Amino acid sequence: MKIALIGASGNVGQRLHRELIARGHTVTAIARSADEIQALDRTNPVVGDITEPETLAQTLAGHDAVISSVRFLAFDPDKLLDAVQTSGVPRYLVVGGAGSLEVAPGARLIDDPNFPDAYRAEAAAGAAYLDRLRATEGLNWSFLSPSAVFEAGERTGTFRLGTDALLVGPDGSRISYEDFAIAMVDEIEAPKHPRARFTVGY
């Protein structure tokens, strides 16, 4: 497939880029600087500004799917959604956050008083964006939330999927960027969560 990847130079974006290429997909890698984009086969590097919806929509047009892998505080939800919808791309996948996941019925991780203040604003913006997607008509989206600890690690291919509840395993709630990328590309290749949030963890 032909995939547009917004935020291809970030920690998660780089892993998504490599996973997509390894599986034979063609990637339009969008980042603020071409120098930051990995020089991989079947890659079209594009310098893009997500604050310019008309230009971004033109870049996204003609792809089978678009993945957004950017910090929620780094973009205007109206402008990005406008670009995605105007482009006519049939599928929109979002690298989400863990803050909006439930730790008990009706209680989100972000609502825990021990939730780190350094991440609270970004987590709140991610939760608001998820709510916005749920209220947007005519858009086939999927929002993949990582576990609470989300960092570089191994590509094991062994993990669990969930829906709206935080996944906790023997070593706590965690997932590597590498295994997160597998789960995201799996969803592109075999969609199971249309217009829904899901989560991945060990």
For the chain, give the mean pLDDT: 95
Question: What 3-state DSSP class applies to 158?
Answer: coil
Residue with tokens 């880029």: 17
Q: What is the pLDDT of residue 51?
A: 78
Burial class (CB in 10 A: 0-12, 13-18, 19+), 106: exposed
Give the whole-angstrom CA distance, residue 45 versus residue 31: 8
Q: What is the mean pLDDT of residues 97-101?
A: 97
Tokens coding 178: 């590498």
Which has more confidence, 32 or 124?
Answer: 124
Q: What is the pLDDT of residue 104?
A: 92
Structure letter (DSSP) for residue 8: T
Q: What is the pLDDT of residue 49?
A: 76
Which has more confidence, 118 or 50?
Answer: 118
194: containing domain? 2-201
**For residue 176, which phi and psi values (nearest 5 degrees)?**
-85, 155
The pLDDT-based confidence of 172 (bands split at 50, 70, 90) is: very high
Q: What's the structural domain count of the chain? A: 1
CATH number reported for the structural domain that contains residue 69 in this entry: 3.40.50.720
Instruction: List the one residue out of 164, 144, 168, 190 whose CA is nearest residue 12.
Output: 144
